[in-house]
Copies of this chain bind each other. A is one copy, B any other.
Amino acid sequence: MPVGDFPFPHMNPVQGIRLGTASAAIKSPGRKDVMVMEVCEGATVAGVFTQNAFCAAPVTVSKEHLAKSPARYLLTNSGNANACTGDQGYQDAVDSCERIAELTGVDASQVLPFSTGVIGVNLPMDKLLNALPEALSNLSESGWQAAAEAIMTTDTRPKGAAATFEYQGATVRVNGIAKGSGMIRPDMATMLAYIATDATVAQPVLDQLLKEAVDSSFNRITVDGDTSTNDSCILAASGKSEAPEIISADGELYSLLRDAVIAVHKLLAQNIVADGEGATKFVTVAVQAAENREEALRVAYSVAQSPLIKTALFASDPNWGRIVAAIGYAGVKGLDDKQVKVWLDNVLIVENGGCAESYSEEAGQEVMNQEEITIRIDLGRGEVAETVWTTDLSHDYIKINAEYRT
């Protein structure tokens, strides 16, 4: 039950980027579950990956390949994560790259593999390899939505975002697609995202831009606090637009690109949260007046990950006591509870260590009945603000995750 208004947008082609899909029947027959993104020669490609100590074989291989060669093909399968699959899993990831290399004439190290789905089961390699020619045969600059659909697992909708800007008469486009709904929190959980622009961006600038964009988007969302073995986010710059090359992280053109790339990342991240497993609410937790970034995030995540708050959100219950308790156990040293203020949207609910005098249950209830809610927390200590996005915790979350594998 997704929330929020995130229709798949119209996406103009990003020149130099083509996408193709195929059906390999990895988990269930019929649906497309293989996606290949082709990046033109001369493009720059940056990647960030999960911090999980049990990172999946495709993550290991993608990192190795990305360090070695300019990437030309990104191969994704859904339905099987190829994670915790030992030496065989590593070999399977390498083999799938080699097959793409054979079919396209690039070096195997120019292929990056990605997998998402069930953990601990070896990839059905015959099925996967047999589907690759089909995916390559339908590569198209207009394949974005089909690609977004092919990488879905428990997602209920394909996720895309696009931005465009003009610079000195040249149009620059940024397109992005992503998947992920359960297992989402900082460090990027079971989440795959592919963002591409036709701007021309030097490798170090692209690397830095991607880190910044991920940090303000995918690293600020949480559904259930779990993070995964397979998260990957790729940013490719094809260099096909007329705008000049960006060789340093400053200037007007860089600033325009940065804004567009971050906007696409944020929309994708918010869409993932809003499609969180069993979500019925889209919740923004905005912490302000913190002494530093770390404590702002501690409080934000403490609130955003509290099962008691999330079940109260599901019940549309303005149970501010649970919010206060979660702020209290976030571990902010020397926090003065008398200085803390909490709002539901614009309704002040907590001040002076207790319920605000102006608060009425009716006003709180009105906010809680909404599908989109902002919990705003003022710590009264400093000037740092941080925002994270989350969902409620519903019956359907249990249902989806108790029944996912069986």
The residues of A with any CB-CB pair to B shorter than 8 Å are 51-55, 81, 83-86, 88-89, 118-120, 182-183, 187, 224-229, 305-308, 311-312, 314-315, 317, 319-322, 324-330, 332, 335, 337, 340, 350, 352-355, 393-395, 397-399, 401-406
Q: Which residues of B contact A119 (CB under 8 A)?
A: 319, 321-322, 324-325
Contact A226 B307 (CB under 8 A): yes
Nearest neighbor of A320 in chain B, beta-carbon distance: B120
- Given A120-B321, A182-B308, A229-B324, 20 more pairs with CB closer than 8 A: A52-B329, A53-B328, A53-B330, A55-B328, A83-B321, A83-B324, A84-B354, A85-B355, A86-B352, A86-B353, A86-B355, A183-B325, A187-B329, A229-B325, A314-B398, A315-B401, A315-B402, A315-B403, A317-B406, A319-B404
Contact between A354 and B227, CB atoms less than 8 A apart = no
Count of identical protomers in the assembly: 2
Q: Which B residues touch A352, using CB under 8 A?
A: 86
| A321 x B84 contact (CB < 8 A) | yes
User: Is the beta-carbon distance between B226 and A335 smaller than 8 angstroms?
Assistant: no
For A324, what are the chain B residues with a Cβ–Cβ distance below 8 Å? 54, 83-84, 119-120, 229
- Contacts of A315 on B, CB cut-off 8 Å? 401-403, 406
Whole-angstrom distance between the Cβ of A267 and the nearest chain B Cβ: 25
Distance to closest chain B CB from A91 (angstroms) = 12
Q: Determine the residue in chain B with the shortest Cβ distance to A54.
A: B328
Main secondary structure of the interface of A (DSSP, over half): loop
Q: What B residues does A325 contact at CB under 8 A?
A: 52, 54, 83, 119, 183, 226-229
A-B residue pairs in contact (CB < 8 Å), sample of 16: A53-B327, A53-B335, A54-B327, A54-B328, A83-B321, A89-B354, A119-B324, A183-B325, A225-B307, A226-B325, A227-B329, A228-B329, A307-B393, A311-B398, A312-B402, A315-B406
Do the beta carbons of A328 and B229 come within 8 Å of each other? yes
Contact B183 A308 (CB under 8 A): yes
A164 to chain B, nearest CB (A): 36
Q: Within the complex, which residue of B308, B329, B337, B406 is in contact with A401, where a contact is CB–CB below 8 Å?
A: B308
Among B225, B329, B355, the residue within 8 A (CB) of A305 is: B225
CB-based contact B312/A225 at 8 Å: no
Q: In the complex, what residues of B have CB within 8 A of residue A53's CB?
A: 327-330, 332, 335, 337
- Min C-beta distance of A303 to chain B, whole Å: 11
Residues of B within 8 A of A187 (CB): 329
Report the minimal beta-carbon distance from A54 to chain B, rounded to whole angstroms: 3
A319 to B122, CA, bound (A): 15
Contacts A229-B324, A328-B54, A402-B314 given; does A355 touch B120 at CB 8 Å:
yes
CB contacts (< 8 Å) of A312 on chain B: these are 401-402, 405
